[in-house]
């Protein structure tokens, strides 16, 4: 018995029948004696339908009004679930973002949760209500409706769990947990029993799109245990939790692949102080988000600077780079968009060397050229040609024995 | 130049193209130097789609949650109109019920507006925004979303007009004004230039479904001039205003037909004090709304009591009446549902006799039997057989020369 927050994504509430299945799961948890708060996304497809309407209305829909429009999606699902629960004689109350007192900043379309007033939810729970909260939305200090950006319902759920000090935040989705790598690419991929927040952060930012990255940061900050599991079966999924001793004994937890990458290299940049700022400030001003940056010093007191961006930002990055290259007297710009980033992740790396070497050797054995390397404390990423992406995933999965439980021990 | 509230109904905002037409009209009014507040309904069909979803979710959807669901309809249209206006470089802000501070009582699905805090709307107007408010919705003192019942957007518009002391409340709809009678029945029906609140109240309660009756009461109470007009052309419509001298010179302004009627007669009711209460209290408790009531005293110290109800309440009224007839020792119940109520309405009647006599004579000349008669200060209603309904409308329209302007003068 405890306080459980359950979040159901768009496919889990895709139609009224599925929402009835959600009701079954909610009731089961409630009948076990738990307090239950449910956070819902919009029915799958609804957000896209609303975006289509918005684009009919305007080529560049106003962001404040887009939030007013999009927030109706979750409002619909919470009302439907509450109706279903009440028709089964359970007390239930739906709350939109402002009613749940989910206060955000005023960045329409990509707002951040600033605070959650837990008073109303706590009171409703005390009165034995199942509380159903619209995910993805909040309101700002001026009373405007805001949304948290795509996938924001995960963050809503974790933030509510933190605010009401829930014992568990269950994220129900259409996959049944976090895998060592993408099972569609590597059939040996194995579902992880648990994973640390930090590993999950590296995984999700690298394209394993099960959990929104911001929700994981939130969970880490407030130490909210997350259980990622399928809404279509009763299996246990993957726990996302604080690092523990057992985890550190595992060198590598997963292999992540991100195909949404493009590389820009500015050749023969004069190697003088402040030159990096002259390159990256215009990119930031152009809203281009830069991922990896590598600088190779050459023998001629000039340097090649390479960086990667998402394919979406590629064209804009190229334009800006060409302009900047002219201004700073670089020799030119070369680029590539047929590339992918492959990463191995594991908290165990922190205390062990040799992971990078094993990774590079494994790729070399397959004649896969590494174009860029970037690392964090618990991650090593290599940029490779896109055509080798899937091969690389399988090779690294084998190299680190990820198909076996607790494969590489310290 | 002044403050104009414009309300557009469901067919006027039926799709994005039509909302763009609404934007044209709004801009035209704004560019003439007016402050403009726009009140919108849901796109036509949307409310029914949402009701269908609700009925999939539950046989008897919870009323609070139904309001949460239905209120998304107007939220969608206000966002779309605001986007369109902003993309045309007009300042515009959409407001849902709670943001517009439309406070209601807590009767879910049929809430009444208690107050409107005009502060936020006034401030937005002062900053030269076009303010777009979701009709049909508000919030109660506990913060629950409420709706005003079908047609409630008219009431929202009039109430907002009253709160911000607007110079005019324009109701845009799919008809181009108020007619002397239903043009589909009587081809000679003429559009009225103006009509008094009281006449409009009698018209709308009698089945002329252009304006929600509650909105007219509101307009009368706060003396808000209403202009009912078409959203599909530029013609002037009908002004609904306070009674003036000119109006009183016209005996009859319109003929209204209500087919949604059924009659129940309880025969030979003992004529003792309190007997009416014993009949009508159970009906009220059964939520049966009774319209006309007639009591005929018989020679045998018993009395026949007849009353009319809507066809929807007919079966329930009959059940209750049969039970009550047994209890009070009446001789039985007879009934009829092939009936209609025809009414002539006009403020001029107040000061003139002879209208009733003309009406009865005209019906008699066509051998139309009158089953019940009911009157108010400005209305005479007769219950007749349904098959004569259309004939009666045409005859009375002719009798009172309604096809001619200011026909019957005092």
Contact B62 A76 (CB under 8 A): no
Identify all chain A residues contacting B19, using CB atoms and an 8 Å cutoff.
Answer: 57
Contact A66 B83 (CB under 8 A): yes
Q: Are residues B16 and B146 in the same domain?
A: yes
Q: Are residues B296 and B164 in the same domain?
A: no
| Chain A residues interacting with chain B (CB cutoff of 8 angstroms) | 16, 19-20, 50, 53-54, 56-62, 64-66, 68-69, 71-72, 75-76, 78-80, 82-84, 86-87, 93-94, 96, 98-99, 120, 143, 145
Q: pLDDT digit string (tens) for A269-281? A: 988 888 888 999 9
Beta bridge partners of B385: B339
Is residue B133 pLDDT above 90, yes or no?
A: yes
Residue A185 falls inside a structural domain: no
Q: Are residues A156 and A271 in the same domain?
A: no
Contact B87 A60 (CB under 8 A): yes
Contact B83 A16 (CB under 8 A): no
Nearest chain A CA: its distance from B316 CA (Å): 24
Contact A80 B59 (CB under 8 A): no
Is residue B180 pLDDT above 50, yes or no?
A: yes
Identify all chain A residues contacting B50, using CB atoms and an 8 Å cutoff.
Answer: 76
Query: What pLDDT does B205 receive?
Result: 65
Q: Are residues A156 and A9 in the same domain?
A: yes
The size of the A-B interface in CB pairs under 8 A is: 111
Nearest chain A residue to B87, by CA: A58
Is residue B407 pLDDT above 50, yes or no?
A: no
Query: What pLDDT does B406 receive?
Result: 54
Q: pLDDT digit string (tens) for A323-342? A: 999 999 999 999 998 999 99
Is residue A405 pLDDT above 70, yes or no?
A: no
Which structure tokens are listed for A29?
């948890």
> What CATH number is attached to the domain comprising A305?
3.30.2130.10
Domain extent at residue A57: 3-174
Q: pLDDT digit string (tens) for B260-297? A: 899 999 999 988 888 888 899 999 888 888 888 888 77
What dihedral do alpha carbons A173, A178, A182, A187 form, nearest 10°?
A: -110
Residue A406 falls inside a structural domain: no
Q: Are residues B266 and B148 in the same domain?
A: no
**pLDDT over 90 for what percent of chain B?**
73
Q: Are residues B150 and B260 in the same domain?
A: no
Indicate the pTM of the whole model. 0.84
Q: pLDDT digit string (tens) for A14-50? A: 999 999 999 999 999 999 999 999 999 999 999 999 9
**pLDDT over 90 for what percent of chain A?**
73
Question: From CA B292, how far away is CA A272, in angstroms rounded?
Answer: 95
Residue A54 falls inside a structural domain: yes
Contact B58 A94 (CB under 8 A): no
Question: Locate tokens 């974790």: which residue?
Answer: A158
Nearest chain A CA: its distance from B18 CA (Å): 10
Contact at 8 Å (CB) between B113 and B104?
yes
Contact at 8 Å (CB) between A185 and A390?
yes
Residue in B19, B83, B98 closest to A65 by CB = B83
Is residue A268 pLDDT above 70, yes or no?
A: yes
At B408, the pLDDT band (50, 70, 90 cuts) reads: very low
Q: Are residues A18 and A154 in the same domain?
A: yes
3-state secondary structure chain B: CCEEEEEECCHHHCCHHHHHHHHHHHHHHHHCCCEEEEEECCCCCHHHHHHHHHHHHCCCCCHHHHHHHHHHHHHHHHHHHHHHHHHCCCCEEEECCCCCCEEECCCCCCCCEEEECCHHHHHHHHCCCEEEEECCEEECCCCCEEECCCCHHHHHHHHHHHHCCCCEEEEEECCCCCECCCCCCCCCCCECCEEEHHHHHHHHHCCCCCCCHHHHHHHHHHCCCEEEEECCCCCCCEEEECCCHHHHCCCCCEEEEEEEEEEEEEEEEECCCCHHHHHHHHHHHCCCCEEEEEEEECCCCEEEEEEEECHHHHHHHHHHHHHHHHHHCCCEEEEEEEEEEEEEECHHHHHCCCHHHHHHHHHHHCCCCCCEEEEECCEEEEEEEHHHHHHHHHHHHHHCCCCCCCCCCC
Choosing from B174, B195, B220, the residue where a domain stops is B174
Mean of per-residue pLDDT scores for chain A: 91
Query: What pLDDT does A408 receive?
Result: 41
Mean of per-residue pLDDT scores for chain B: 91
> What CATH number is attached to the domain comprising A22?
3.40.1160.10
Question: From CA B22, how far away is CA B173, in angstroms rounded?
Answer: 11
Q: pLDDT digit string (tens) for B20-44? A: 999 999 999 999 999 999 999 999 9
Choosing from B174, B200, B229, the residue where a domain stops is B174
Identify all chain B residues contacting A93, using CB atoms and an 8 Å cutoff.
Answer: 64
Question: Locate tokens 């009550």: which residue?
Answer: B324
Contact B75 A75 (CB under 8 A): yes
Residue A183 falls inside a structural domain: no
Query: What pLDDT does A93 receive?
Result: 98
Choosing from A127, A156, A174, the residue where a domain stops is A174
Query: What pLDDT does A396 receive?
Result: 95
Nearest chain A CA: its distance from B226 CA (Å): 29
Residue A410 falls inside a structural domain: no
Question: Locate tokens 């949304």: which residue?
Answer: A147
Contact A79 B68 (CB under 8 A): yes
Is residue B4 pLDDT above 90, yes or no?
A: yes
Residue in B60, B61, B78 closest to A68 by CB = B78
Residue B344 falls inside a structural domain: yes
Is residue A406 pLDDT above 70, yes or no?
A: no
Residue A247 falls inside a structural domain: no
Query: What pLDDT does A214 receive?
Result: 86
Identify all chain A residues contacting B96, using CB atoms and an 8 Å cutoff.
Answer: 68, 145
At B210, the pLDDT band (50, 70, 90 cuts) reads: confident
Q: How many domains is chain B built from?
A: 2
Identify all chain A residues contacting B143, using CB atoms and an 8 Å cutoff.
Answer: 99, 120
Is residue A410 pLDDT above 80, yes or no?
A: no
Q: Are residues B18 and B156 in the same domain?
A: yes
Between A58-62, A370-374, B63-67, the lowest mean confidence (pLDDT) is in A370-374
Residue in B16, B65, B93 closest to A79 by CB = B65
Q: Are residues B148 and B12 in the same domain?
A: yes
């Amino acid at each position: 018995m405890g306080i459980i927050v359950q979040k159901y994504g768009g496919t889990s509430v895709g139609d009224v029948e599925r929402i009835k299945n959600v009701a079954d799961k909610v009731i089961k948890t409630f009948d076990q004696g738990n307090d239950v708060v449910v956070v819902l996304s919009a029915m799958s497809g609804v957000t896209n339908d609303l975006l289509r309407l918005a684009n009919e209305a305007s080529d560049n829909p106003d962001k404040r009004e887009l939030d007013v429009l999009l927030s109706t999606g979750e409002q619909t699902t919470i009302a439907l679930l509450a109706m279903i629960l009440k028709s089964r004689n359970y007390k239930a109350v739906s709350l939109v973002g402002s009613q749940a007192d989910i206060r955000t900043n005023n960045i329409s379309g990509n707002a951040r949760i600033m605070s959650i007033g837990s008073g109303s939810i706590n009171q409703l729970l005390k009165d034995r209500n199942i509380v159903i909260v619209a995910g993805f939305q909040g309101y700002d200090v001026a009373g405007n409706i805001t949304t948290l950006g795509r996938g924001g319902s995960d963050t809503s759920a974790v933030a509510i769990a933190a605010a009401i000090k829930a014992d568990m935040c269950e994220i129900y989705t259409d996959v049944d947990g976090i895998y060592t790598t993408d099972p569609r690419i590597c059939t040996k991929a194995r579902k992880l029993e648990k994973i640390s927040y930090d590993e999950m952060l590296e995984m999700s930012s690298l394209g394993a799109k099960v959990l929104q990255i911001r929700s994981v940061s939130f969970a880490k900050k407030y130490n909210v245990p997350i259980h990622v599991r399928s809404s279509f079966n009763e299996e246990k999924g993957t726990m996302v939790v604080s690092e523990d001793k057992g985890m550190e004994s595992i060198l590598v937890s997963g292999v992540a692949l991100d195909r949404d990458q493009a590389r820009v290299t500015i050749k023969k940049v004069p190697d003088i102080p402040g030159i990096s700022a002259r390159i990256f400030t215009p990119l930031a001003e152009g809203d281009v988000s830069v991922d990896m940056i590598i600088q190779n010093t050459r023998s001629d007191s000039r340097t090649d600077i390479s960086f990667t961006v998402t394919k979406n930002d590629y064209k804009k990055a190229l334009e800006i780079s060409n302009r900047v290259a002219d201004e700073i007297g670089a020799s030119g710009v070369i680029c590539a968009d047929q590339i992918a980033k492959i990463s191995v992740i594991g908290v165990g790396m922190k205390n062990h060397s040799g992971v990078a070497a094993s990774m590079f050797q494994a790729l070399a054995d397959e004649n896969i050229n590494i174009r860029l390397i970037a690392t964090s404390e618990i991650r090593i990423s290599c940029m490779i040609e896109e055509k080798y992406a899937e091969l690389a995933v399988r090779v690294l999965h084998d190299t680190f024995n990820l198909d076996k439980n607790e494969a590489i021990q310290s």
